[in-house]
């Protein structure tokens, strides 16, 4: 792998010692270059430079050019020795015809027109209507172009009209149509109807056969008898009777029935009847949101069972806690109230818990409390040792520890802000702690928390810096190329790598490839001296 330089390299007029130009077998392998780029063609043993958009030989090329005219092609110029050369090709055939128009290069080497093409058959097509003449005009010296052959078929007749005129006639056919039928027929009326259609072999209609029909006279009034749910009989009028116990909602006029989707509240009248579903929906809607007291609840024994789902509990059902216990993991006390927020509740979020008696908070009791800002903390400092007190100047224990370099300095250290009634923000008041502009790196001590063991410890800043350096840098000495499997710096891929000669102390360059926590360092030749590798983590 070659070293990648992503910018120009300035040698400041120094010598480039023992270089080798890139070797490639041909221009294709060298690829598309930039103006001035070099490569050595190992096939032709020549040095090439990319100039004017292509690879050209350095210091060589064509010194003269000679062309020779052919039988039909002339090339100009025929010779050149210097400068750019443009070769123009031109047909040497002469114009063998005086007429204008399309011409073709004949075998004899002259431009000529085509008068005719003997032995060629032409396919002529056209379209005509029954009132328009179709004229075909042919010209030429060949006799085969003066003739048009037409062939008659079924129902097509060709008539020679003389003077090369041909008449094409389609055989006509006859048919008979029926008379119109009255728009509306009554008893005893007659009407015409098509009985059959005659066609010829080509599908043309040649005849339509029509017959006349007569409707019968009107019959006498029949006697009609009704049976089933509705009974009755008669001719011109029928008296009906509805049987007992056979009517249901479907028998009523739809406008007289109020269904659930229509709503009873939208049909306040004495002319319609509601269905049972409409009545239930109206009652349910009227009672939504109301609390329905169900009695006591023993949280110790879960009696009645309020935590198992599915259940018959409905929204609004209310219970009073009669014995302490847990409810979906929440502590309940006697006197607390539970209100179901949904039908079939199955989680704590489906209930509203109204707490009745909340204790005051203490060291061991979770309950109602208050937060007040802490007062100043007394810190004394002498002989390089900080005496830290968790008491203020009055001797009251505040439970706050602040480390300060200054002697007898009191700092609040705790920030408390009441954002709103019942909402308190508590934090570290950094602004009240003085800043050390030039902290000593070897004497100062910092406190840190070891999360693995859960303990707080102190550490010298100098030791902390050394620890941080060990986590972000790495150094090793090598004598030859190394692979990533043996060179593990453990800092990831985002690292800066620098190499220097341990004897001359000069920076050296090699192929360096990052591979996770590993490095692949490759030298084209083995270094004379040992090489020091410096790795610095970034980010």
Report CA dihedral (201, 203, 206, 209) to the nearest 10 degrees: 110
Q: Shortest CA distance to 343 belongs to which of 374, 366, 312?
A: 312
Q: Shortest CA distance to 368 belongs to which of 379, 358, 383?
A: 358
Q: Predicted confidence band at 495 (pLDDT cuts at 50, 70, 90)?
A: very high
Q: Predicted confidence band at 117 (pLDDT cuts at 50, 70, 90)?
A: very low
Query: Any bridge partners for residue 167, and if so which?
Result: 159
10-24, 26-40, 249-263, 356-370: which range is least confident on average?
356-370
Q: What is the full DSSP assignment across 384-426?
A: TEEEE-SB-TT--B-------SSTTEEE--EEEEEEETTEEEE
Q: What is the DSSP pairing of strand 317-323 with strand 337-340?
A: antiparallel
Q: Predicted confidence band at 124 (pLDDT cuts at 50, 70, 90)?
A: very low
Q: Is pLDDT above 70 for 425?
A: no
Using CA atoms, how far residue 21 sits from 35, 40, 122, 328, 377, in Å, is: 16, 6, 70, 80, 76
344: helix, coil or strand?
coil
SS in 3 state form for 305-336? CCCCCCCCCCCCEEEEEEECEEECCEEECCCC
Q: What is the pLDDT of residues 344-382, one digit of tens each?
A: 999 999 999 998 766 655 545 556 666 554 444 444 444
Model's pTM, two decimal places? 0.31
Separation between Cα atoms, residue 495 and residue 100, nearest integer Å: 81
243: helix, coil or strand?
coil
**Local structure of residue 360 (DSSP, 8 states):** B
* C-beta of residue 322 within 8 angstroms of C-beta of residue 329: no
Share of the chain above pLDDT 70, in %: 66
């Amino acid at each position: 792998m070659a070293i990648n330089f992503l910018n120009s390299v300035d040698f400041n007029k120094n010598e480039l010692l023992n270089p080798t130009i890139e070797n490639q077998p041909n221009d294709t392998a060298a690829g598309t270059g930039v103006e001035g780029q070099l490569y050595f063609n190992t096939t032709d043993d020549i040095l090439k430079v990319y100039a004017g958009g292509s690879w050209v030989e350095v210091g060589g090329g064509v010194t003269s050019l000679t062309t020779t005219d052919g039988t039909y092609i002339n090339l100009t110029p025929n010779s050149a020795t210097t400068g750019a050369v443009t070769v123009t090709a031109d047909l040497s055939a002469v114009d063998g015809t005086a007429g204008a128009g399309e011409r073709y290069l004949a075998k004899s080497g002259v431009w000529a027109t085509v008068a005719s093409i003997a032995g060629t058959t032409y396919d002529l097509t056209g379209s005509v209507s029954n009132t328009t003449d179709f004229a075909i005009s042919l010209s030429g010296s060949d006799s085969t172009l003066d003739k048009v052959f037409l062939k008659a078929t079924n129902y097509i007749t060709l008539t020679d009209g003389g003077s090369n005129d041909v008449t094409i006639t389609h055989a006509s056919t006859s048919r008979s149509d029926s008379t119109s039928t009255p728009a509306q027929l009554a008893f005893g009326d007659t009407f015409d109807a098509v009985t059959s259609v005659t066609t010829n072999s080509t599908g043309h209609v040649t005849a339509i056969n029509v017959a006349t029909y007569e409707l019968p006279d009107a019959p006498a009034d029949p006697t009609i008898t009704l049976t089933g749910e509705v009974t009755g009989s008669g001719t011109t009028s029928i008296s009906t009777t509805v049987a007992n116990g056979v009517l249901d909602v479907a028998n009523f006029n739809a406008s007289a029935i109020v269904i659930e989707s229509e709503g009873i509240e939208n049909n306040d009248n004495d002319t319609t009847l509601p269905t049972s579903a409409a009545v239930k929906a109206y009652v349910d809607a009227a009672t939504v949101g109301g609390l329905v007291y169900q009695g006591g609840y023993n949280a110790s024994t879960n009696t009645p069972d309020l935590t198992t789902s599915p259940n018959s509990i409905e929204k609004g059902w209310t219970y009073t806690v009669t014995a302490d216990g847990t409810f979906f993991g929440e502590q309940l006390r006697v006197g607390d109230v539970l209100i179901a927020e949904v039908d079939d509740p199955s989680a704590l979020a489906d209930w509203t818990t109204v707490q009745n008696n909340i204790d005051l908070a203490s060291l061991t009791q979770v309950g109602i409390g208050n937060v007040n800002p802490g007062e100043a903390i007394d810190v004394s400092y002498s002989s390089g040792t900080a005496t830290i007190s968790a008491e203020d100047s009055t001797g009251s224990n505040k439970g706050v520890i602040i480390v300060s370099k200054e002697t007898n300095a009191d700092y609040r250290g705790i920030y408390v802000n009441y954002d709103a009634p019942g909402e308190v923000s508590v934090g570290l008041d950094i602004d009240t702690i003085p800043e050390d502009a030039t902290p000593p790196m070897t004497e100062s001590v910092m406190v840190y928390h070891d999360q693995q063991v859960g303990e707080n410890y102190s550490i010298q800043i100098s030791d902390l810096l050394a620890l941080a350096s060990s986590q972000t840098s790495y150094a090793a000495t090598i004598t030859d190329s190394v692979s990533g499997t043996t060179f593990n710096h453990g800092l990831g891929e985002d690292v800066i790598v620098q190499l220097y000669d341990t004897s001359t102390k000069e920076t050296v360059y090699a192929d360096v490839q990052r591979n996770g926590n590993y490095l692949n360092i490759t030298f084209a030749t083995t270094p004379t001296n040992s090489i020091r590798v410096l790795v610095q983590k970034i980010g």
